[in-house]
Amino acid sequence: MGSPEDLLFWRSMAGSKSRSFRSGRCKAFVNEGMARLPSFDGTGEGLRASISPTPMKMWRQSRSDARSNGSEPAPSGVLQRNRRIGMSNPIEERQDPSHGRVRKQRWLVVALLFSLTLGGTVAARMMAESAIPGPAKIGDLQHRIVHELLAFDGRLDRSAVHLGGDGIVHLELVATGSERSVRTLVRRPTDVVVVLDRSGSMGGDPMAKALASIRELIGQLGGDDRFALVTYANGADLAVSLERATSEARAQWMSRLAGITVGGGTNMSSGLDRAHALVASTREAGRVARVVLLSDGHANQGDASPAGLARRSARALGGEYVLSTVGVGVGFDERLMTRLADEGTGNFYYVPDIEVLAGIFAAEFESARQTVASALEIRIDTPAGVEVLEAAGYPIEQRSGHVLIRPGALFAGQARSFWVTIRVPADEAGEAELGDVWLTYRTIEGERREARLATFPAIDVVIDESQFVARLDADAVSAHHAEDMVNRLRQSVSQLVSIGNYAAARDELNSIDYRDLEALGYEVEHTASFGAIEQMKEEVERAESAPAASQSEVRNKIGKQLFEQGTDGRRKGAKR
């Protein structure tokens, strides 16, 4: 039996890329080998390679020798009897001095065939591995392109995958708003539209604090900025039409805010419809638009389906504005609110205490008016067999030969990054080509621009573990583990905590894969990933040990916090 690596190797040699090797190298071991002769027992049925004489030839030779010496050979019946018991030579010939040489010759044949087989394996492995270039330099795995308004970076965490493995590689993408833009920044006039849930569950303190936060936002607006307020319950109303923030308008807005009341259901779809129609009908060139949707519960009227709400949010892309979402309290669906923000290329915020809402409004407004590039769109080409599996939870639009990922807008000085998970073919030894990576964006003036990263090296499909480890970028592997893998785990654990399945949450946390870090020589207990996992275990314990009377609320709150932390951790720099 060979080793698992040998079995994988020979399996790979069955692939189309290895056929020329087999026909050109391996056939010689058979075609140029020994003749196909009768077996050692003289039956004539064997196909063994042999350089020894057959029993019949030996008998004929002995008979000839006997005649020349005047004696008779053994009777034929003796030879036939000896054949039936599987002996290669007659008993009478056992004392023949040539018998020892015959046995030695047979063993030499066996040894020769074994050597040829072993040598063929070694030669084939050496040929396959010599066709693979040496490890890519770390610089080859990192590329950057700089434009006037932004820089675009990409780095791979490895340039090889295991033969017969999962074929997974990770690509980090970073878009950075120009620092020069910060120094010379002309603040963009901004349209801010707040879409406020005024259903019955928002009564009392939540609505009072939400309105207070909106008043604080109004105080931050400049004279060229515009503001509007859409409210929704059973239906949607335009409480404040979109107007410039003059002193007269501000006074009117404050009066209208005081008259808002709560009551009814949660018709979120009507609020999104009204906001989109407002923005689409009032857009002006050179202005930045930002919509902020706020809710404390589940949609239960109108089109309450996640797919329908997501389609409405996605209209922000065509309308070239950003839609962010805010979940208040513990009654809303954080995954739905995150999905709506993703479709609207904005951010999701969890607000356990509504006092922090004013800071969120301020951050969204400031990000909008410092925008240097909007409608960011990342295109990753996908050659045959290459798949883009994940992009930090962002929606991935599959096209023919490429995929599209839309992370949103970029403000001056902002650096937003995320990891993309890519699978390459790993069923045959050799190389797997990666596609090109492009970034397109729109300037505030409406000009469409494009940037392309230099082509990354092909991914080697290797047999040997040392070859694989030599092609890992230690810093990138460690960063991906801490930033993407751990935070993806945080998102999945959050749901288990929310429903009170603490045993499954602990199992998830104990299942994290440290093998790449260990192969690079990291002491796992000293890594950022290990520390984050231990903190999550403490959060699970805190939720489980909460008093029965409050456990539902505690676990819901911890689950939402873990989910937001996981989402933000996978999308570094997305929020201000």
pLDDT digits (tens, 9 = 90+) for 165-188: 999 999 999 999 987 655 555 688
**What proportions of the chain, in percent to the nearest 5, are helix, strand and coil?**
45, 25, 30
pLDDT digits (tens, 9 = 90+) for 319-353: 889 999 999 988 899 999 999 999 999 999 999 88
How many Å apart are CA 212 and CA 353, to the nearest integer? 13
Q: What is the pLDDT of residue 245?
A: 96
Q: What is the pLDDT of residue 485?
A: 96
What are the sequence ranges of the domains in the chain? Answer: 4-130, 161-182+373-463, 186-369, 477-570
Q: Which amino acid is at 544?
A: E
Closest CA to 289 of 385, 184, 188: 188
How many Å apart are CA 154 and CA 419, to the nearest integer? 9
Cα 255 to Cα 52, 221, 252: the distances in Å are: 112, 17, 5
How many helices and strands in the chain, by DSSP H and E?
20, 19
Determine contact, residues 372/410, Cβ cutoff 8 Å: yes
Q: How confident is the model at residue 70 (pLDDT cuts 50, 70, 90)?
A: low
How many Å apart are CA 235 and CA 220, to the nearest integer? 29
Q: How confident is the model at residue 67 (pLDDT cuts 50, 70, 90)?
A: low
How many Å apart are CA 553 and CA 546, to the nearest integer? 9
End-to-end CA distance of the chain: 59
Cβ neighbours of residue 273 under 8 Å, at least 6 residues apart? Answer: 236, 312
How many Å apart are CA 363 and CA 573, to the nearest integer? 13
Question: Which CATH fold topology does 186-369 show?
Answer: Rossmann fold (3.40.50)
Q: How many C-beta atoms lie closer than 10 Å to residue 529's C-beta? A: 20
Residue whose entry in the numeric block shows the structure tokens 């040392």:
466
pLDDT digits (tens, 9 = 90+) for 449-494: 999 999 999 999 999 999 999 999 999 999 999 999 999 999 999 9
- Percentage of residues in the chain having pLDDT higher than 70: 75
Token pair of 479 as six digits? 């960063």
- Mean pLDDT value across residues 562-575: 96
The 8-class DSSP code of residue 75 comes to -
Cβ neighbours of residue 78 under 8 Å, at least 6 residues apart? Answer: 90, 91, 92
Q: What is the pLDDT of residue 308?
A: 97
Determine contact, residues 272/309, Cβ cutoff 8 Å: yes
Residue 425 pLDDT exceeds 60: yes
Q: What is the pLDDT of residue 355?
A: 82
What class is the 161-182+373-463 domain? Answer: mainly beta
pTM: 0.77
